[in-house]
Amino acid sequence: MKLRKKKNDDYLEKDLDNLPELTEDRINEFITNTSSKPRKVMNPYKIYNDITKEK
Amino acid sequence: MNNIDINESDYRKLQYITLEMFNKFVYNKANLSKEMFEKELLGYTRKILNANLEKDEIFNAKIDILPISKKKEKNVNGSMLFKEDLNSKNHSVMRVNISKVINGTRNKGLSSPNPKVRMETITRYIETIQHEYRHYKQKRAIRVNDDRVGYTSAEKHIMSRESASMGIKNEFFYKLKNNYKNYFMEADARLSGKTESLIISKPAYFQTKQMIKNGTLKNITIEDVDKDAFDRTVSRETNDIVMSNEMSFFKATGNRSRITSNATDFSIACNKKILKCYPFLGVEYNNDGTRKSLEDIIIQEQRIKNKNYDYQTQKDINDYFDMLYTDILVHKMTKEEFKETTKRIGKENMNELLGRCNNYNVNNRSKKKQDLYQLCENSQCIIDKNSFSTTQRYKEYIEDLDYKIDKEYNDVEKSIMQKENIVERINNVYKTKSQRRESLNNEIKENKKYKNVLKIIKKPVMMWYKISEAFENDKQNKRIVDPDTLRRKSMYNSKSDFLYYDEDDVNLDEKRKELRELKDIREQKVALLTEAKDCYRESEKYKISKEKNHEKSKE
């Protein structure tokens, strides 16, 4: 049982080294970024009914 | 959460592309070679993805489409790979397995004579592309901080956990398919892929209806079209996500959060640089890769709340930290750790935190939470200001784990020895197989200790092994145990319900046992049959000889 890396590896070490390091400001940017739009939730039941009712 | 209607005008370009595809492949069968099919479909994927990017107003994106080799990944429809360029921050690679579309699941896909099959393959193809594109948007939200969907930050945290553990942990995601299905990212992408494909294939749907009425399409009926459009998966996902409340999706899933948080612990222990990719995890973990203490998280929350934000963001942050506290207090902490933290923080603060966990109605949570309240009342409260900002070092973390695991391992060894003795005893007493089996089962039912022991074995051994493997320098002083040998011992009779387990390995041993028994039984049966045949032959010979004798005597 050895740790295998995934074949399509997201984490190449070169890329990881180049990324900026974590600071509190950067974390806060991510946490407080709520989009002004409300989220679009698709209701598949409704979509299906609309499609089947139309002629 | 209010369901918002979607502007179908956004999807107009995509609808046009699918109409083109239907005209080309479904209504008339295209006689093309496999290579030509691949080329054309690759061109269409590029078109569809570009239309999606236009719809979401993402202008800097750069997408490479690669066909996957056919032999290696047969069961995969598509896969997505996200890479950050520091210059543009929008680079990504997307892979779509076209071989499945061309060859088809049932009847040769696009090259089949039945137009119904061709229609199914194309709708499924569009589904997979939309599914992967949703993953692309998720990754953008987590890694580049560009959210085009409007996820809550709690959801983003869950997604970043899942994808951080997805990079290295094959066991959690790919071997256990139920785990993989139940993750938030996958469920979200499945639902969006399904619904968007419904919207996109709308005009094509009406066109097929008309063609059925005119009689140009003979092999399809209207009922088939309806069934294809609305699948079972949609109903299942919507029950989880759409039809219930705002935070419902991770209300009902304490189990999931526990598993994913453990998995991220492993992956960060293996490679702590992953934290750079997912800044949301910076709230839970230090830059060393150690877990932050609860006090540190509280301080972080207070710092963020001191700044002035909109009402919406404040609410979002509140929900986010509620989620974190529930995960840590209710699902992650042991009772001893809980007692220690209450000593440090104080009863009142802990009661406040437990009250914040109230929003989440997890299964079996109410019982557990009552226990926690009792613990909080019973613990002797001592507040040290110096210990308030302590961080848990990594060595301490490992030492604690070692202590626990050694203790548990000794218990387990003892119990296994006892069990083996019992087995020998039973084998001596009962000699037939059926008797042996019954007696074993009865013994195990009576002794509940074994079940508890088996529960203990499954979790921490793997954990300890992995962490020891990640840090080779610390390995020398520790006893190394193969998890496989332990597994074989532990899987003596009962089947595990635990999710960490590889089910394939478990089944192999049991299957081998069954096969051996079956072989024995079969040999016995064959012997009986041969005996029976011989007897029959002899009896027939005897009959014939008797008859002959009878005839002779008559004569």
DSSP element (H, E) containing B67: strand B62-67
CA distance B172 to B438: 35
Put simply, whether A22 touches B (Cβ < 8 Å) is yes
In order along its 555 residues, chain B shows pLDDT tens digits of 445 556 778 899 999 999 999 999 988 888 888 788 888 888 999 999 999 999 988 887 888 887 765 555 556 677 777 877 766 666 677 777 777 777 765 567 888 888 888 888 888 889 889 999 999 999 989 988 888 888 888 888 988 988 887 755 455 555 445 566 667 788 788 888 888 888 898 889 888 888 888 888 888 887 777 776 666 666 666 655 544 333 444 444 555 666 677 778 777 777 778 888 899 999 999 888 888 989 999 999 999 988 888 888 888 888 889 888 888 887 778 778 888 888 888 888 888 888 777 544 444 445 566 666 666 666 554 433 333 222 333 334 444 444 554 555 455 555 555 555 555 555 555 556 666 566 656 655 555 444 444 444 443 333 333 333 333 333 333 333 344 433 343 333 233 222 233 334 445 556 556 555 655 655 555 555 556 656 666 666 766 777 778 777 777
> Judging by beta carbons within 10 Å of its beta carbon (0-12, 13-18, 19+), is residue A19 exposed, middle or buried?
middle
Q: Do B2 and A24 touch (CB under 8 A)?
A: no
pTM for this prediction:
0.67
In chain B, whose CA is at the least distance from the CA of A23?
A: B282
Cα dihedral sign for A34, A35, A36, A40? negative
Q: pLDDT tens across B151-191, in order?
A: 888 888 988 988 887 755 455 555 445 566 667 788 788 88
Of B168, B303, B483, the CB nearest to A3: B168
> Judging by beta carbons within 10 Å of its beta carbon (0-12, 13-18, 19+), is residue A42 exposed, middle or buried?
buried
CA of A3 to nearest chain B CA: how many angstroms apart?
Answer: 7
Q: Do B170 and A9 touch (CB under 8 A)?
A: no
Joined tokens for residue A27: 């974390």
Q: Do B279 and A26 touch (CB under 8 A)?
A: yes
State the amino acid at position B252 in one-letter form.
A
Joined tokens for residue B496: 């595990």
Residue B145 burial (CB count, 10 A): 16
Q: In what order do the strands lie in the sheet with B91-96?
A: B62-67, B91-96, B78-82
Mean pLDDT (chain B) is 69
Q: Which long-range contacts (CB under 8 A, 24 or more apart) does B493-498 make?
A: B493/B440, B493/B441, B493/B444, B494/B444, B494/B450, B494/B451, B494/B454, B496/B454, B496/B458, B498/B455, B498/B458, B498/B459
CA distance B413 to B516: 27
Q: Do A10 and B271 touch (CB under 8 A)?
A: no
Q: Are B140 and B51 in contact (CB under 8 A)?
A: no
Q: Are B241 and B249 in contact (CB under 8 A)?
A: yes
Which residue of A2, A24, A39 is the best one to mutate when testing the B interface, meaning the one whose CB has the most B CBs within 10 A?
A39
Q: Do A31 and B320 touch (CB under 8 A)?
A: yes
Q: pLDDT tens across A1-55, in order?
A: 334 444 444 455 667 777 888 898 999 989 988 755 566 666 777 777 777 776 5
CA distance B341 to B345: 6
Q: Are B360 and B353 in contact (CB under 8 A)?
A: no
Q: Are B444 and B494 in contact (CB under 8 A)?
A: yes
Q: Do A8 and B2 touch (CB under 8 A)?
A: no
In chain B, whose CA is at the least distance from the CA of A39?
A: B150
CA of B143 to nearest chain A CA: how many angstroms apart?
Answer: 9
Q: Which residue has the tokens 């997604």?
A: B159
Residue B128 burial (CB count, 10 A): 21
Q: Do A31 and B153 touch (CB under 8 A)?
A: yes
Put simply, whether A14 touches B (Cβ < 8 Å) is no
In chain A, whose CA is at the least distance from the CA of B319?
A: A31
Close Cβ partners of B252 (under 8 Å, ≥ 6 residues apart): B240, B361, B362, B363
Q: Do A38 and B270 touch (CB under 8 A)?
A: no
Joined tokens for residue B185: 């990212």
CA of A27 to nearest chain B CA: how many angstroms apart?
Answer: 6
- What's the ipTM? 0.81
Q: Do B198 and A6 touch (CB under 8 A)?
A: no
* pLDDT for residue B167: 58
